[in-house]
Amino acid sequence: MQLKTTFLKNISLTTILVVTAIFTTNAQVKIDGVAVVVGKNVVLDSDIDKFKQEVEVRSEGKIQFSDCEMLEELMQQKLLAHHAIIDSVAITDAEVNARVSRSIEFFKQEYGSTDKVVAAYGFNDIEDLKKELSRVQKENILTEKERMKITEDVDVTPEEVRLYFNGLKEKDELPEFEAEVQLAQIVLNAEPTQEETERVIAKLNEIKKEVEEGASFKLKAIINSDDPSVAQNGGNMGALTKDSPFIKEFKEVAFSLDEGQISEPFKTIFGYHIIFLHKIKGNAREVSHILLQPEIADEKLQETKEQLEKLRVDITEGKITFDEAVKKYSEDEETKNNRGTIVNPYTMEPTFELTRMDPALYGRVNELQKEELSEVFYDETRGGEKMYKMILMRDRTNTHTADLVEDYVKIQQLALAKKKEETIKKWTKEKIEETYIKLGEDYKKCTFKDNWKKDIN
């Protein structure tokens, strides 16, 4: 039961409302049964079905929940959102818009284009999709902030951590902690020659001139652009706002143009671009772009590899320390000034669970022991940047049963999470009594942990 509860909490606060529940179309609302009303919030039968589907996918079919369990979890989310409004929890348009933009980018990666997302889920157009995403993301933010407000003063003492650990030990429920690693890297970029860069800029200027003289920008993009999505969108990036998840340089150029204007060539981490501004719609800019990436000769790639291999030998022979080499030679801006430390993009911590890391990275480091260096290997960014890397296994902890001393911070976090959840449960019991709740007929037979059926008792 504890496993099921923990799984529900994890999933309900992450993807379910963000990904699956957004796609309740207007047509569905008209024909869906209403499972429950909590305050002014409604849970539909389809919401429960989608929640179950998401749980099955996320747990790989290992954990099963009844409709009643699903409904109770959704009711708590609606209760939190309802009281966030009552408590005047503040959210900004910028917060909502940022999440909407990230969600759209996620769906674009999954389906290839916004048009395909719109078609797949039955929305009228992209604005219809954004409207629904905004509604759901607003509720997500309200729910999260209300949880934080309720638990902001909750803390645990060292004695509470010790008692929590001993309680797990007595019940033979100590968790297994997966193998974890801390990694650092040295990166050398393979840069194009000056002549190649000048060739690319000249080509973009030539295209710009031809379009200004009447050529089709879309056709030029399809023929020339190195953007992998150009086959689907002809270079069209859709409506761009200042909150859109595009890199700074791209947005700065887009918002400096007038309607019908084409930018000068400019550089980003993806290569060199020109932008055509189609229309200005309030705070949005409808733009298309052409991307050209300078080619890097095989000789330059080999030269870069050999430089890093020589540096690896110098480190292993003690001629220079790894940290000194990072500071002097590494060309990765994100890690160069942090001893080369690679940060987990999901937790923003310098620690990775070995079995949950990116498969390509796992393959490079799985066999490394503490303080060992990987072989030099080639890598390439999504933007087409080419480089060679080597990775240091800075620290490694193998899979083990929780230990109070070795894993104190993790156990403290678990104890704090438990105490916060107990605080939420107490708050839920109190708020149910003062909140309008109306269950649909099909769910009045459910057995809930809390008194959601107060209206029929």
| CATH number of the domain within which 320 lies | 3.10.50.40
Residue 181: burial class (beta carbons within 10 Å; 0-12, 13-18, 19+): buried
Distance separating alpha carbons of residues 353 and 431, to the nearest angstrom: 38
Secondary-structure percent of the chain, ordered helix, strand, coil, rounded to 5? 50, 15, 30
Looking at the structure, tell me whether residues 141 and 75 fall in a common domain: yes
Task: Please check the confidence at residue 171 and state whether its pLDDT lies above 90.
Answer: yes
pLDDT at residue 28, as a whole number: 41
Whether 315 is covered by a domain: the verdict is: yes
Q: How far is CA 162 from CA 37, 213, 404, 412, in A?
A: 42, 76, 8, 9
Whether 105 is covered by a domain: the verdict is: yes
Domain tally, the chain? 3
pTM for the full model?
Answer: 0.63
pLDDT at residue 23, as a whole number: 45
Whether 374 is covered by a domain: the verdict is: yes
The pair of three-digit structure tokens given for residue 298, joined into one six-digit string: 């095989």
Distance separating alpha carbons of residues 13 and 415, to the nearest angstrom: 19
Q: Provide the CB-side half-sphere exposure for 406 (13 A, CA).
A: 11
Torsion sign across C-alpha atoms 199, 201, 203, 206 = negative
Distance separating alpha carbons of residues 104 and 440, to the nearest angstrom: 33
Q: How far is CA 112 from CA 5, 19, 109, 118, 425, in A?
A: 35, 16, 5, 11, 42
Looking at the structure, tell me whether residues 324 and 425 fall in a common domain: no
Whether 330 is covered by a domain: the verdict is: yes
Looking at the structure, tell me whether residues 265 and 307 fall in a common domain: no
Residue 360: burial class (beta carbons within 10 Å; 0-12, 13-18, 19+): exposed
The pair of three-digit structure tokens given for residue 340, joined into one six-digit string: 């080369």
Looking at the structure, tell me whether residues 390 and 413 fall in a common domain: no
Looking at the structure, tell me whether residues 380 and 423 fall in a common domain: no
Q: What are the tens digits of pLDDT across the range 207-226?
A: 999 999 999 999 999 999 98
- pLDDT confidence bin for 188, thresholds 50/70/90: very high
Q: What are the tens digits of pLDDT across the range 97-133?
A: 888 888 887 777 777 677 777 777 778 888 888 888 8
Distance separating alpha carbons of residues 368 and 361, to the nearest angstrom: 12
The pair of three-digit structure tokens given for residue 455, joined into one six-digit string: 């209206």
The pair phi, psi for residue 67, each rounded to 5°, is -60, -35
Whether 173 is covered by a domain: the verdict is: no
> Are the beta carbons of 393 and 372 closer than 8 angstroms?
yes
Give the residue-averaged pLDDT of 369-398: 91
Q: Provide the residue range defining the domain that includes 278.
A: 194-292
pLDDT at residue 7, as a whole number: 46
Looking at the structure, tell me whether residues 132 and 249 fall in a common domain: no
The pair of three-digit structure tokens given for residue 457, joined into one six-digit string: 């008792």
Looking at the structure, tell me whether residues 344 and 434 fall in a common domain: no
Looking at the structure, tell me whether residues 431 and 442 fall in a common domain: yes
Looking at the structure, tell me whether residues 201 and 320 fall in a common domain: no
